[in-house]
Amino acid sequence: MSPVPSLLLIEDDDAIRTALELSLTRQGHRVATAASGEDGLKMLREQRPDLIVLDVMLPGIDGFEVCRRIRRTDQLPIILLTARSDDIDVVVGLESGADDYVVKPVQGRVLDARIRAVLRRGERESNDSAVFGNLVIDRAAMTVTKNGQDLQLTPTELRLLLELSRRPGQALSRQQLLRLVWEHDYLGDSRLVDACVQRLRAKVEDVPSSPTLIRTVRGVGYRLDPPQ
């Protein structure tokens, strides 16, 4: 992680792009901007930013598609900027692999806080490792291996797995997870947790549709179980 995080802002509206660039730069970020999804993908390859702030409504390929394409190769954090706060947008965005979302008109401070929270997820903290069946979580190297194979996890997915693995067998509510992983306040959107759990399950579980590691606790939230 570079001391000054570099961001890529993909936004087609000139005014918003300029304003957000101004605001984020003042918050101390290095900001590169792109006006379309295609440009953004190109700049992603050239500049390797630490995080992407992505508008949903883009000319050409839309934000969801950009998000999906990025996820095919990269696990860097993505924050969606949605103007249409239709529910479906949020769900589709989270499905396509976004780590968090912000609804327009967004305040620079909120966006900055989200960016910092997402970036913190990749930071190391302890030096132990944990084993859950064929899953090995190495907290020192910040890697997860399954059957000896490295798993490609986004920082958010990794953080979620780490928070769950720190309390094995203990159920964590969605609100707790939102605070621990997303650093959201008491009104965090629990669908962020659900979507992330789904993505994580798809990567770590043998059969994602009948999970044995990350279990749902009805009426409470989620729990990481060591397999019997």
- The residues of the shown chain that bind other proteins, judged by CB under 8 A, are 13, 15-16, 18-20, 22-23, 26, 82-88, 90-92, 94-95, 101, 103-110, 112-114, 116-117, 173-175, 179, 183-187, 189-191, 194-195, 197-198, 201-202, 205, 208-211, 215-216, 218-220
The CA distance from 186 to 175, in Å, is: 7
Q: Based on CB atoms, which residue is closest to other proteins, 52 or 81?
A: 81
Give which of 37, 28, 30, 91 is closest to 61, Cα–Cα: 37
Q: Based on CB atoms, which residue is closest to other proteins, 127 or 209?
A: 209
Q: Based on CB atoms, which residue is closest to other proteins, 21 or 138?
A: 21
Angle at 38 between CA 103 and CA 109, to 5 degrees: 25
The CA distance from 193 to 209, in Å, is: 17
Question: Do β-strands 149-150 and 143-146 pair in parallel, antiparallel, or remain unpaired?
Answer: antiparallel
Shortest distance (Å) from residue 191 CB to other proteins:
6
Q: Based on CB atoms, which residue is closest to other proteins, 186 or 228?
A: 186
Burial track 144-178 (b if 16+ CB lie within 10 A, e otherwise):
bbbeeeebebbbbbbbbbbbbbbeeeebbebbbbb
The CA distance from 75 to 200, in Å, is: 12
Shortest distance (Å) from residue 46 CB to other proteins:
26
Q: Based on CB atoms, which residue is closest to other proteins, 69 or 104?
A: 104
